[in-house]
């Protein structure tokens, strides 16, 4: 399984970014091997390019903080499950994903309510 993580640095010890579009790196993590590739964020104010990277790498999920509506829509349309990893290191957040213990991001505002446009992509089934 491949999971993307919006991170403040390019290591598993770095923090999950508070906001997707302002992360410094997108870590593309192979959860089976715990190997990853760091993709630098080259200034993407809406997070659109980063969201497209996630779909290009065929990630099943993304661990991040708050999402912009544009980034949220790209990932929701591709069936990418969105996890709120704020407050955790990348490594801690990935462990919580594996245990199915992270909150889902169900709408662009990151609120508990569901606007009907989230998609679990089969990840939680």
Name, in order, each residue with C-beta under 8 angstroms of 101's C-beta and a sequence gap of 6 or more: none
Please tell me the distance from the alpha carbon of residue 94 to that of residue 68, in angstroms, as a whole number: 22
- pTM for the predicted model, two decimal places: 0.86
What CATH number is associated with residue 82? 3.30.420.130
pLDDT tens digit sequence for 38-84: 999 998 889 999 999 999 999 999 999 999 999 999 999 999 999 99
- Domain with 52, as residue range(s), is 2-98
pLDDT tens digit sequence for 91-100: 999 999 999 9
Question: Does residue 92 belong to any structural domain of this protein?
Answer: yes
Question: Does residue 124 belong to any structural domain of this protein?
Answer: no
Question: Does residue 110 belong to any structural domain of this protein?
Answer: no
Q: What is the DSSP string of 15-80?
A: BBPSBGGG-SEEEEEETTTTEEEEEE----TTSHHHHHHHHHTT-SEEEESB--HHHHHHHHHTT-
CA end-to-end distance (rounded Å), the chain: 14
Q: What's residue 43's pLDDT?
A: 86
Q: What's residue 113's pLDDT?
A: 53
- Number of residues assigned to the chain: 125
Structural domains of the chain, count: 1
């Amino acid at each position: 399984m491949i999971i993307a993580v919006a991170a403040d640095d390019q290591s598993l010890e770095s923090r999950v970014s508070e906001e997707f579009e302002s992360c410094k790196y997108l870590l593309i993590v192979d959860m089976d091997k715990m190997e990853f590739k760091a993709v630098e964020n080259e200034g993407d104010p809406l997070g659109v390019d980063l969201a497209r990277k996630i779909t290009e790498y065929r990630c099943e999920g993304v661990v991040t903080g708050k999402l912009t509506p544009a980034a949220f829509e790209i990932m929701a349309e591709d069936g990418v499950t969105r996890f709120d990893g704020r407050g955790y290191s990348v490594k801690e957040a990935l462990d919580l994903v594996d245990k199915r213990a992270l909150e889902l991001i169900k709408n662009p505002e990151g609120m508990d309510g569901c606007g009907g446009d989230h998609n679990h992509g089969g990840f939680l089934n």
